[in-house]
Amino acid sequence: MNFSKIDYRSFLGRFLRLPLRLIPKKMVLPILQGCIRGKKWVVGAGEHGYWLGSYEMRKRQAFEAAIQPGAVVYDIGANVGYYSLLAAELVGAKGKVVAFEPLPSNLVFINRHVALNHLGNVTVIDAAVSDASGEAYFNLGASSAMGHLAEAGEITVKKVCLDEMLAEGSLQPPDYMKVDVEGAEFEVLKGARKLLVRYRPILFLDTHQREAHNPTIALLEALGYQFEILDGKPLPDTKELIARPG
């Protein structure tokens, strides 16, 4: 059952979630659904949907259907590592996952999950992805899943540019990219334009703001990408989509 679809503010949502509050945040539990069923997860890393296997179910199922063994996956905005674990399982020992995450508290959890599950095919990079390398302010947001680059913020983080990293030879080119960076999607892809033109990866996108969504779609359309909507909304209004090279 996809409990994440039940409004947590409703009576049913509060009732169903009540027992979950009793679980210690430091407890490690097995993930209950999907292809990473049985993988170890720290309860306090985030919402209970992660280990229940109900988190972003439609997107997760599309991810599972698309990623092929032996592939290279970039998880950009890896948060606490749910999609990194998922990708690591799907690509197998011959594949590679590169997880980019700038927030220190999230890095603790993603590295813990990599260690708990003995994932030798995952590399974690302590940085935000943008259109240029350097440093930037980072706004922590209302939760660990909502932090983002900003003109001002509580901390500063390292920035990296994918085209620059590929030119330096510090990355393998990707077959797939998951991009979920709370409104900085356009900057990520602007800094990966050469990568997109040359290697044509499939993109899993979550565009959180129309100011980011519109230029992101325009950039990808200009590069010949076509879109599959995951949330059932028209293209101008959607926030969850897959972009495939034409």
The yes-or-no verdict on residue 70 having pLDDT over 60 is yes
Higher-confidence position of 180 and 135: 180
Condensed to tens digits (0 to 9), the pLDDT of residues 232-243 reads 999 999 999 999
∠ CA(216), CA(90), CA(100), 5° rounding? 45
Q: What is the CATH number of domain 56-245?
A: 3.40.50.150
Q: Which residue has the higher pLDDT, 21 or 62?
A: 62
pLDDT tens, residue by residue, 165-177: 999 999 999 999 9
Total-model pTM = 0.87
> By mean pLDDT, which of 51-55, 99-103, 195-199 is the weakest?
51-55
Q: Which residues contact 185 (CB under 8 A, 6 or more apart)?
A: 179, 205, 206, 207, 208, 212, 213, 216
Which H helix or E strand runs over 139?
strand 134-139
| pLDDT band per the 50, 70, 90 thresholds, residue 14 | low
CA angle 233, 222, 58 (to 5 degrees): 30
Residue 245: both structure tokens together? 């090279």
Q: Average of pLDDT values for 22-33?
A: 92
**Residues 166, 97: Cα–Cα separation, whole Å:** 15
pLDDT average, residue stretch 208-214: 86
The residue ranges of every structural domain in the chain are 56-245
Three-state DSSP at 220 gives: helix
Which residue from 106, 103, 72, 77 is spatially nearest to 90, judged by alpha carbons? 72
Contacts of 84 (CB under 8 A, 6+ apart): 75, 78, 97, 99, 110, 113, 114, 119, 122, 124
Instruction: Kindly state the average pLDDT of the residues 12-40.
Output: 82
Q: Reply yes or no on whether the pLDDT at 196 is more than 80.
A: yes
Mean pLDDT of 175-187: 93
